[in-house]
Amino acid sequence: MQQASKISVIVTTYNRPDALTAVVEACFAQDDTNFEIIIADDGSTNNTRDCVAALAARSPVPLRHVWQADEGFRAARVRNLGTLAATGDYIVFLDGDCVPQKNFVSRHRKLARPGFLVSGSRVLLSEQYTRELLQRRLNLHTLSVAERLRLRLGGHFNKFLQTVLVLPDVGRERRRFSWRRIKSCNLAVWRSDLDLVNGFDESFQGWGHEDSDLVVRLFNAGVLRKDGAFATEVFHLWHRENQRDQASSNRAVVLQRAVDRTTQATAGLRELAASNAIQREPAPAPGTIS
């Protein structure tokens, strides 16, 4: 079975350096160090830039920072920007408020299989515990089973078993399409498959369903899913819900693409790569890979 020779973990962020620090430091503590980190920054201010510089100075793995101007929610574009900067043959997308467990990279590597993507899952943290974790810089890796159970019973975790059990890898393949558990906050895809469908579609406006669109187009192109639950959980720090102003219209586009068997992004990796090539002559501009 083919294994990923190098993994690129693309961490998306926007003006939340305390959460980003917790996520990246958890990446530093992984039990598999054959990976790189790409910080994909959707227009944060200098506070995040300074944070990333400090993290890069002590990173045990290669770490790069790509940035684009703040023109509203453009997660699809910044993930594509991170993909263009990546050197790995297997891409793991992780949000900058999702703290990975110590075996996150090694479990994703073990689940990687040609012809499949892996959709992970998450453990939601309460507002109170998130605030405490960030203020006191708590290390989630050191929590005992008893402490995790206490946090679950206290309403600070929404799951318990998923944080302490790893189920066998067999039976994870999903031969039929399902909308369940499509989360780009924890999603692994072969780089060649991203190229096949032209990556995320930057034509999606506002928040919502750009991740579902990618998975639908991958499925239309023959890429199936593996379930990463009970193997690749991340701890999702609390935040206020985003406004779903475009969620309904974006979902309608995805539903139609499922019917039409669409595979290609309208504006994706190829267009962004061409745009960056133009912008880099004679000098880089905001939004280019640095």
User: Taking all residues of the chain, what is their mean pLDDT, rounded to a whole number?
Assistant: 90
pTM of the predicted structure, to 2 decimals: 0.91
Distances (CA, A) of 21 to 74, 103, 139, 220: 21, 18, 12, 37
Give me the percent of the chain exceeding a pLDDT of 90.
Answer: 78
Split at pLDDT 50, 70, 90, the class of 280 is very low
Q: What is the pLDDT of residue 284?
A: 34
Question: How many other CB atoms are there within 10 angstroms of residue 276's CB atom?
Answer: 17
Q: What is the pLDDT of residue 242?
A: 62
Pairing of strands 173-174, 224-227: antiparallel
- Cα(83)–Cα(104) distance, integer angstroms: 19
Residues with Cβ within 8 Å of residue 41, at least 6 apart in sequence: 12, 13, 14, 48, 49, 52, 65, 66, 67, 68, 78
Q: What is the pLDDT of residue 177?
A: 81
In the chain, what are the domain boundaries?
7-279
pLDDT tens figures, 173-190: 988 888 777 888 999 999
The average pLDDT across 40-61 equals: 96
Whether the link from the prior residue into 100 is cis, omega within 30° of 0, is no
CATH number of 7-279: 3.90.550.10
